[in-house]
A = this chain, B = another copy of it.
Amino acid sequence: MELAKAKGTTAEERLQSLGLTLPPAAGAVAAYEPWSIVNGILYMSGQLPWIAGDLLYKGKIGAELSIEDGYKACQLGALNAISQLKAALGTLDRVKLIFRLEGVLNVAPGFTDTPKVLNGASHLLSEVFAERGRHTRMIYTNPEMPLDCACLVVFWAEVAD
């Protein structure tokens, strides 16, 4: 799976050139916060593959969901993470570097093709943020996920004041 090449200079132009729309940032939940900025680093809660509370990718990759579904689930999780960045910062121009991507995946027994799946998030980061999206990453698989979502995506970002 691949993503088209983005055009434009700002992250928002580049997103638009890919034909992708940011979902609304999931609001603060009673018991915890969607993001927190400490010493210029933005930390984030896990982002689900949903749009305005409608969970689009549910179930296990390698069973109910194909690799391509998983790729798109990670892309949508990453779009939600970008929405959180925008909600936190006002503008994506304040993103200096998204230096870590964490993907937690809901996979069927025997499914080990997880790097291809998380590429859905990695490719989006590279296209939209170019040099500022050069990230390390970590893949986890978990036997059960909140709401049976296909994935959780987290960014760690260095941000400007």
Is A107 a contact partner of B32 (Cβ separation < 8 A)? no
Copies per complex of this chain:
3
| Contacting residue for A119 out of B31, B33, B158, CB 8 A | B31
User: B107, A143: Cβ atoms under 8 Å?
Assistant: yes
- Whole-angstrom distance from the CB of A14 to the nearest CB of chain B? 17
Cβ of B100 and Cβ of A136 under 8 Å apart? no
Find A144's partner among B110, B126, B158 (CB 8 Å cutoff).
Answer: B110
Residues of A in contact with B, size category = 35 or more
Residues of chain B within 8 A of A40, CB atoms compared: 39
CB of A32 within 8 A of CB of B101, answer yes
A interface, CB within 8 angstroms of B: 31-36, 38-41, 43-46, 97, 99-102, 104, 107, 109-112, 114-115, 119, 122-123, 126, 134-148, 152, 154, 156, 158
Distance of A50 from chain B, by nearest CB (Å): 14
- Docked CA distance A139–B29 (Å): 14
Which residue of B is nearest A32, CB measured?
B137
